[in-house]
């Protein structure tokens, strides 16, 4: 129990709040990858984005993707290294591609991030910007209005974790997405959000979206995108 003004006060416990999945309108229906996994497309900033992380373990030309990994393929998709992202065999379904850093900025500004924030590095955005992208979030006594913001965009970002040197970490706590844009020969741009657990101390970063460059050896999730007119 906590003591405030001489009174016993019950602590607030964490509570999972599931956002509502998008019910459209969709910019693409029944998008199918080379293995037969299906997705739908959602419009953000004049681009059509898949509504879930890519789940294929096969390149578009039918060859196997060596070194890809996952801990829950159906719900979180597959973790890919940067060399998979830029492989000429093609990672995304036909006519789709891994989004560039600039295309991610268009998505972020479409869901409410200011342009000056989108162009910055590190943890960016006003309070709650990551909440509108997450499939679910962890509430601590939220108002109905705060709860309604969870996955308001329909993007359904999930904590799919990351892999390095054969070890998956951060599953159910972090979600990382590759861009297709190199930062330098050894690093590339990515996006990250994280989820609080019941035992985690509150950090303001949990409400924001990270933009940074990271070693290409990491394996992250991938979302595919295409121009809306296609």
Going residue by residue through the chain (230 aa), what tens digit of pLDDT does each one get? 233 344 343 345 678 899 988 877 899 989 999 999 999 999 999 999 999 999 999 999 999 999 999 999 999 999 999 999 999 999 999 999 999 999 999 999 999 999 999 999 999 998 789 999 999 998 878 889 989 999 999 999 999 999 999 999 999 999 999 999 999 999 999 999 988 754 555 566 788 999 999 999 999 999 999 998 65
Range of the domain at 128: 20-227
If you count them, how many residues does the chain have?
A: 230
What's residue 197's pLDDT? 59
Is 218 inside any structural domain? yes
Give bridge partners of residue 49 from the DSSP assignment.
42, 225
Is 132 inside any structural domain? yes
Is 56 inside any structural domain? yes
Is 190 inside any structural domain? yes
What's residue 69's pLDDT? 92
Is 8 inside any structural domain? no
User: What is the β-pairing status of strands 38-44 and 187-194?
Assistant: unpaired
Is 1 inside any structural domain? no
Is 28 inside any structural domain? yes
What's residue 6's pLDDT? 41
Three-state secondary structure call for residue 62: coil
84 neighbors 91 (Cβ within 8 angstroms): yes
Q: How many domains does the chain have?
A: 1
Single pTM value for the model: 0.89
What's residue 2's pLDDT? 32
Is 6 inside any structural domain? no
Q: What is the CA radius of gyration of the chain?
A: 18
CA atoms within 13 A on the CB side of 109: 16
């Amino acid at each position: 129990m906590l003591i405030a003004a001489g009174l016993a006060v019950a602590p607030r416990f964490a509570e999972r709040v599931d956002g509502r999945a998008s019910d459209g309108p969709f910019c693409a229906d029944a998008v199918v990858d080379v293995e037969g996994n299906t997705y739908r497309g959602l419009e953000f900033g004049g681009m059509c984005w898949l509504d879930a992380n890519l789940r294929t373990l096969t390149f578009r030309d039918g060859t196997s993707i060596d070194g890809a990994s996952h801990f829950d393929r159906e719900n979180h998709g597959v973790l890919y290294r940067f060399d998979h992202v830029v492989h000429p065999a093609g990672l995304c379904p036909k006519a789709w591609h891994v989004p560039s850093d600039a295309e991610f900025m268009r998505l972020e500004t479409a869901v409410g991030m200011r342009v000056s924030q989108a162009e910055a590095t590190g943890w960016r955005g006003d309070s709650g910007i990551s909440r509108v992208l997450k499939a679910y979030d962890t509430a601590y006594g939220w108002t109905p209005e705060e709860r309604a913001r969870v996955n308001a965009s329909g993007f359904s970002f999930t904590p799919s974790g990351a892999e390095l040197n054969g070890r998956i970490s951060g599953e159910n706590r972090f979600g990382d997405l590759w861009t297709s844009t190199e930062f330098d020969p050894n690093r590339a741009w990515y996006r990250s959000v994280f989820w609080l657990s019941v035992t985690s101390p509150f950090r303001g970063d949990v409400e924001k979206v990270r933009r940074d460059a990271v070693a290409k050896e990491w394996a992250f999730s991938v979302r595919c995108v295409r121009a809306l007119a296609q």
